[in-house]
Amino acid sequence: MIHLGWEIQIELLLPDNRLVNAHLTREQYGELALELGQNVFVRPKAAKEFAETVVEPEYYI
């Protein structure tokens, strides 16, 4: 958990061992009363996924 001013960033570990960062307002975080190791359900609002592998270019300049 990282405090970022008015919001809190938390890391969530998915069942396939990938990490997801979630951003909550302090109010949301307080209402949820999350604890380390607690199972939670999430729904992406603005998901961004990045490629796990580096793609080699077809040519070089």
- pTM for the complete prediction? 0.60
- Position 48 confidence tier, pLDDT thresholds 50, 70, 90: confident
Maximal CA-CA distance, the chain:
54
Number of domains in the chain: 1
In tens, the pLDDT along 29-47 reads 999 998 888 999 888 887 7
Contacts of 4 (CB under 8 A, 6+ apart): 23
d(C-alpha 38, C-alpha 32), whole Å? 11
Q: Which range of residues forms the domain containing residue 42?
A: 1-61
